[in-house]
Structure 1
Amino acid sequence: MSIVEAQPALDPTERAEIRNLIGHYPTARAAAIDALKLVQQRRRYIGDNLLAEIAHLLGLPAAELDGLATFYNLIYRKPVGQTVILLCDSITCWITGRDHLAQHIERRIGIKPGETSADGRFTLLPIVCLGHCDHAPAMMANDVLHGNVDPATLDAMFDATPLP
């Protein structure tokens, strides 16, 4: 049983968009990740009830779709903050100061990797590699890639993100 409160059901527009996605693939199952991403883009995460609805539209068992959703680290199965910070955990980023950045985030907003700030503004997640090694240390804030990140970069982002 999930301890996360159920999200509102898919709306007719979301259902129609998922059905449209299915039409672009040879099988409904092939549209699974795109369907999850479509809903997550609007809802920020995929709760159990939404996962079950999406699975039904795709003609899949919910357990199979959950297996896909939990395999991909960019599908969020629990609530995340307004800004999701993916802090690269590659050897290159580690050598160039990634741990110092993680400590700065903890001091500044009080969260460790895997946590969301109390105000709901930020979630910090480690990611194996962002492929931006020539600009390490690197991070993504939502869908924006940042390179040569330093504490001042982080502070500017924290200061610019409004309260939810």
Structure 2
Amino acid sequence: MLEQSYYEKTDEIIELHGAKASSLIPVMQDVQAEYRYLPGELLSYIADKLGIPLAKAYSVATFYENFSFDPKGKYVIKVCDGTACHVRKSVPVREALEKHLGLGKGKQTTDDMMFTIEIVSCLGACGLAPVMTVNDKVHPKMTPDKAVEIIDELKEGECE
């Protein structure tokens, strides 16, 4: 069960976009931006408030790859594994991150909810390959050592 504040914030978002069916995607985007994922309970609430069937809201949420029902860490790290990045060794970057954070084998988010690693097929920065992003900030020409260094800097920033 979600805290009441989730529903209150969702009501604000719905009010901003209007309680109509055409607001479904912008409302879901804003809710996900707020919580870094789309809680299933809120999807049902949104559908009800917008007067659309839950099945329709769910089909939209599952059709678009950017929506996630899984909670994500404070720092979402996307490692590109498109052709350019792959041939320029993005796999060792991903492996170093997973090892350093204790992730892999189906586990994408650290237990402390600080880091989530996602493998994506393209970040649109092929000339900078291999590329990773941290909360949409682009980090070009990654190496395993540079990737781990970025994680350590983020961790240090949390301790200050």
TM-score bin (small chain): 0.7 to 0.9
The residue aligned with 1:29 is 21
CA shift, 1:73, in A, is 2.0
Structure 1 residues 71 and 139, CA gap change in structure 2 (3 angstroms):
farther
Per-residue CA deviations over 1:23-75 (Å, capped at 9, x if unaligned) read 7xxxx333222111211222221111111111122222112111111222221
% identity of equivalent residues: 28
The residue aligned with 1:57 is 49
- Segments of 4+ moved more than 3 angstroms: 9-14
1:112-123 equivalences in 2 (<5 Å): 112=104, 115-123=108-116
Q: Distance in 1 between matches of 2:153 and 2:54?
A: 39
The residue aligned with 1:141 is 134
Structure 2, unaligned runs of 5 or more? none
Structure 1, unaligned runs of 5 or more? 1-5
The residue aligned with 2:37 is 45
The answer to whether the Cα contact below 8 Å between 2:44 and 2:54 also exists between their aligned partners in 1 is yes
Aligned length in residues: 155
CA shift, 1:146, in A, is 2.2
The alignment yields a C-alpha RMSD, in angstroms, of 2.2
User: Secondary structure, in 3 states, of the residue corresponding to 1:64?
Assistant: helix
CA shift, 1:135, in A, is 0.5
Per-residue CA deviations over 1:104-153 (Å, capped at 9, x if unaligned) read 11221111265111222111111121111010111221222222122233
Select which of 84, 88, 105 maps to 1:96. Answer: 88
The residue aligned with 2:8 is 12
User: Aligned AA for 2:145?
Assistant: A
Deviates more, 1:6-15 or 1:51-60: 6-15
TM-score after normalising by structure 2: 0.84
Asked if 1:71 corresponds to 2:63, the answer is yes
Q: Distance in 1 between matches of 2:149 and 2:49?
A: 42
User: Secondary structure, in 3 states, of the residue corresponding to 1:161?
Assistant: helix
User: Secondary structure, in 3 states, of the residue corresponding to 1:87?
Assistant: strand
The residue aligned with 1:3 is none
The answer to whether the Cα contact below 8 Å between 2:84 and 2:129 also exists between their aligned partners in 1 is yes
